[in-house]
Structure 1
Amino acid sequence: MKIGVVSLGCCKNLVDSERMMGLLRQSGHEIVSDVHEAEAIIVNTCGFIEPAKEEAINTILEMAEYKNENCRKLIVAGCLAQRYKADLEAEMPEVDCFLTISDYPKMGQILTRVLGEKVLDGYGKNTRLVSTKPWTAYLKIAEGCDNRCSYCAIPGIRGGYVSFPIEDLVAEAKQLASEGVKELVVIAQDTSRYGTDLYGRRRIWDLLTELNAIDGLHWIRVLYLYPDEIDDEFVTGIKDLKKVIPYFDIPVQHGSDKMLKLMNRRGSVESILRTVKLIRANYDMPVLRTTMIVGFPQETEEDFQMLINFIKEVRWDRLGAFTFSNEEDTPAYTMDGQISQEIMDERLERLMTVQNQIAQENGEALIGKTLEVLVENQDGLTGYYHGRGIHSAPDGIDGLIKFKSSHHYQPGTFAWVKVTKAKHHDLIGIDVLDAEEIAA
């Protein structure tokens, strides 16, 4: 059977989609990228915040139109299905099956019944069908979350934190490396907590040590590190792991202690600043990335100014910010002091104006530096190669490095580039080999 899979939301959801596709391919089905050809379509949804839910609903309705062509079965999986299954079943009769996350262990049986063709059991135990660029892949090391931030619906959707065994993760990473993956991106809702449920203590450093020893991997990037779990042992320990790049993705959410407490975030602004200082004391050129929420209930102008001052003090290399999304089934949903969308949007604009200036200045500070670049493509019109340095994760948020070279680079190979210009979040440079030849 020809099956199309549409994956929405975060990279953690993408791994689930890749596991579905691997299971289907192992069962003898053909995965097609053109939904016009698909006899069945699976939409793996996000249901985290309102914009993601809207995107999911619109995508489902769009895919339902293909039932007028070749598509015979439309299946909706993922967070939206988990969170709103009963409501969706009542409102969307064009969908043949809502496959919740709780159903995943029985995915083979359910899909066999819905599709009318055999799908094997064993979801998550088969080889994934990697859908990212072939040199980069995500490694999801845990499911769920125990942090219980007051704005977040994830624990209610995905359940509590469950670490996957180290031996299974190492075997998966070795398989990915054997298929040509050079950049492994380690993910979970909270990577820094890895192992606490399974082994009784944090074992993220142990896991990274084993991943570091895998032949073929060149970069190991870790996302979603919570600040209160980053200590001296972790920061100094990974310095010895040469493949683990100093890219610290630390979602802190705010710069006011009052707001952090209302959000049920562990730690304080002072502790976050200590963590930043620790990282910068141990690395010459670390990358610090974070996310912020503006407009959380009871955020005053004074709180917002504290956030701005905090951003100016830390000078994050990468920062994403979002207006508060009021989600049912979270403690924040009924909090007093809800902020109007107009005020939230205005604060977001002010925040990003400050951050964009910081990002530009941080980029300009890299002029003259030599950076290793993972080459991903070449622009046919300008001839510039496009790639990513350690400053940029593969999620399309962090910007690119663009460079010219008289030498030929295949996508998925590495080059050394001397930075000559910074433009917003992108860097522009020249191949070091060319620079040396010009100097000679």
Structure 2
Amino acid sequence: MAVQKRNVKVDVITMGCSKNLVDSEFLIRQFKAGGFEVAHDPEVSKGEVVIINTCGFIGDAKEESIETILQFAEAREQGKVKQLIVMGCLSERYMSDLKGELPEVDKFYGKFDWKGIVNDLGLEYRADLRNERSITTPAHYAFLKVSEGCNRGCSYCAIPIITGPHISRSIEDIKDEVQRLRDQGVRELQVVAQDLSFYGVDLYKKPSLARLVEELAQISGIDWIRLHYAYPAGFPEDVLRVMRDTPNVCNYMDIALQHVSDSMLKRMRRGVTRQQTIDLVDRMRATVPNLHLRTTFIAGHPGETDEDFEILKQFVRDARFERMGVFAYSHEEDTYAYKNYQDDVPDEVKQARVEELMAIQADISRQVNENKVGQTLKVIIDRPEGDGFIGRTEYDSPEVDPEVIVKGDGLQVGQFYDVKITAAEDYDLVGEVE
């Protein structure tokens, strides 16, 4: 299947999370270095070669990945695509099944076999480019993956099955990548990992997130650093001091709590109790003034009773998370829950619980936004839209959090402005440059 010519057009389609996006960006850099013309997530695919970087985390994500593969498999059959390649989490997890069911796909690769893809398309994999990416986000921000895999044994999660154990990147390696991103114009980092709390334990024999963040914050030209996907058990609380005392570390933490009733935390194998969770949230807020917390919860895990759900609802009301998402439980093959529990909460109950939690959160989010009216906040501009611009504050991660609708003209994308907030909507803010 090797392509022997240059100027090959490749479309890379990325499914799932920002960690997958980072993988795609490293791969795209290899292609461009070899002279290929690459489009990422094009509205209309025109590539001779289409590479789908799949997600295999939960049922909905797997279904979306399969539908995308089928769409391009049909294009392959019609001769609109010369080669169809599938990689990523779904491929890593179900490669043998997919090979049998999707003969239209030319080749399947695992999550990390970038070298194989590059070589099979007639290029030489360049190890000297290992820390270089062709970013697909707006030029002023990038996602930064600092580790891979996970050592936790949460009942519901297939990630360790897909990615293997936790492996931290060295601080030196990460800094090298950040400096390269900075030189491309990146001013804002979204630091991501499957488990930020565990960062450094394998390399440095102790949690080292605080040390990493301190060193990244010293790199000139990086204005904002935002942290995503911490774990409550063993949370490295020294990073809160760094957040509080370091101007370019955003007062923002994404920490997936998943539940709060003791019975559910035990069944989920989360390694924490309800009281420990409450105490951690209280300490986080006490240490970092105006901290904005993002979290996620799972509704309908096996064994979740009405009482468990009422405890969770009350916690959401009391904790008043600034940002929150809820997922319906997905019974994933080969997980602990799949092997040991019956999927005993009906789908309609799961969905009703998701909607009930999100309704509670909608009221909280509106109040959080209303409290910002009259404040002047630092805002980075992401894009022009309509008669104005769309930006974000330090409390807003791209794509998942609220935005700021900034009225006016003449603003520059990727630049920071002091914006006075004049109105609040359910999820977004409205403001004017001072």
| CA offset digits 1:407-431 (Å, max 9, x no partner) | 6210111111122222111111222
* Superposition deviation, residue 109 in structure 1: 4.1
Q: Is the 8 A contact 1:364 1:422 kept in 2?
A: yes
Q: Is the 8 A contact 2:10 2:38 kept in 1?
A: yes
Instruction: Please state if 1:400 is matched with 2:407.
Output: no
| CA offset digits 1:297-342 (Å, max 9, x no partner) | 1100000000000001100000000110000100111404610001
1:122-141 correspondence runs (5 A):
122=127, 125-141=130-146
Q: Secondary structure at the match of 1:112?
A: helix
1:175-324 correspondence runs (5 A):
175-324=180-329
Question: Percent sequence identity over matched residues?
Answer: 40
Q: Which amino acid aligns with 1:182?
A: R
Please name the residue that 2:391 is paired with: 387
Q: Is the 8 A contact 1:23 1:126 kept in 2?
A: no
Q: Which amino acid aligns with 1:398?
A: D
| CA offset digits 1:356-409 (Å, max 9, x no partner) | 1111111111222221111112223xx232111122101x1212111223x621
Q: Is the 8 A contact 1:287 1:390 kept in 2?
A: no
Q: Which amino acid aligns with 1:418?
A: K
Q: Which amino acid aligns with 1:430?
A: E
* Superposition deviation, residue 124 in structure 1: 6.9
Q: Is the 8 A contact 1:294 1:348 kept in 2?
A: yes
1:412 to 411, 414, 430: 414
1:172 to 172, 177, 185: 177
Structure 2 unaligned spans of 5+: 1-7
Q: Which amino acid aligns with 2:390?
A: H
Q: Is the 8 A contact 2:195 2:229 kept in 1?
A: yes
Structure 1 unaligned spans of 5+: 434-440
* Superposition deviation, residue 240 in structure 1: 2.2
Of the structure 1 ranges 58-67 and 150-159, higher mean CA displacement relative to structure 2 is found in 58-67
Please name the residue that 2:34 is paired with: 27
Please name the residue that 1:101 is paired with: 111
Q: In 1, Cα distance between the equivalents of 2:199 and 2:372?
A: 33
Please name the residue that 2:165 is paired with: 160
Please name the residue that 1:436 is paired with: none
1:362 to 355, 359, 368: 368
1:91 to 95, 101, 126: 101
Q: Which amino acid aligns with 1:310?
A: F
Q: Secondary structure at the match of 1:223?
A: strand
Please name the residue that 2:5 is paired with: none
Please name the residue that 1:8 is paired with: 15
Q: In 1, Cα distance between the equivalents of 2:243 and 2:279?
A: 18
Q: In 1, Cα distance between the equivalents of 2:239 and 2:413?
A: 33
Q: Which amino acid aligns with 1:401?
A: V
Please name the residue that 1:438 is paired with: none
Taking a change above 3 Å as real, the CA distance of residues 31 and 90 of structure 1, as seen in their structure-2 partners, is same
Q: In 2, Cα distance between the equivalents of 1:420 and 1:275?
A: 34
Q: In 2, Cα distance between the equivalents of 1:40 and 1:47?
A: 22
* Superposition deviation, residue 221 in structure 1: 0.4
Q: In 2, Cα distance between the equivalents of 1:341 and 1:36?
A: 35
* Superposition deviation, residue 281 in structure 1: 1.6
Q: In 2, Cα distance between the equivalents of 1:158 and 1:337?
A: 24
Q: Secondary structure at the match of 1:328?
A: coil
* Superposition deviation, residue 16 in structure 1: 0.6
| CA offset digits 1:188-213 (Å, max 9, x no partner) | 00112110011111111111111101
Instruction: Please state if 1:75 is matched with 2:78.
Output: no
Q: Is the 8 A contact 1:36 1:66 kept in 2?
A: no
Taking a change above 3 Å as real, the CA distance of residues 124 and 99 of structure 1, as seen in their structure-2 partners, is farther
Q: In 2, Cα distance between the equivalents of 1:412 and 1:164?
A: 28
Q: Which amino acid aligns with 1:392?
A: D
1:51 to 41, 45, 60: 60
Q: Which amino acid aligns with 1:206?
A: R
Tell me the number of residue pairs that the alignment of Structure 1 and Structure 2 aligns. Answer: 423
Q: In 2, Cα distance between the equivalents of 1:384 and 1:48?
A: 37
Q: Is the 8 A contact 1:3 1:30 kept in 2?
A: yes
Q: Is the 8 A contact 2:131 2:177 kept in 1?
A: no
Q: Is the 8 A contact 2:390 2:404 kept in 1?
A: yes
Q: Which amino acid aligns with 2:34?
A: S
Taking a change above 3 Å as real, the CA distance of residues 413 and 191 of structure 1, as seen in their structure-2 partners, is same
Q: Is the 8 A contact 1:375 1:412 kept in 2?
A: yes
Q: Which amino acid aligns with 2:51?
A: I
Q: With structure 1 as the length reference, what TM-score do the two structures score?
A: 0.93
Taking a change above 3 Å as real, the CA distance of residues 63 and 124 of structure 1, as seen in their structure-2 partners, is farther
Q: In 2, Cα distance between the equivalents of 1:309 and 1:289?
A: 17
* Superposition deviation, residue 232 in structure 1: 4.2
Q: Which amino acid aligns with 1:253?
A: Q
Q: In 1, Cα distance between the equivalents of 2:156 and 2:128?
A: 31
* Superposition deviation, residue 90 in structure 1: 0.4
1:324-339 correspondence runs (5 A):
324-334=329-339, 335-336=341-342, 338-339=344-345
Please name the residue that 2:346 is paired with: 340
Q: In 2, Cα distance between the equivalents of 1:282 and 1:367?
A: 24
* Superposition deviation, residue 69 in structure 1: 4.2
Of the structure 1 ranges 74-83 and 24-33, higher mean CA displacement relative to structure 2 is found in 24-33
Q: Which amino acid aligns with 2:96?
A: A
Q: In 2, Cα distance between the equivalents of 1:80 and 1:164?
A: 24
Q: With structure 2 as the length reference, what TM-score do the two structures score?
A: 0.94
Q: Is the 8 A contact 1:4 1:42 kept in 2?
A: yes
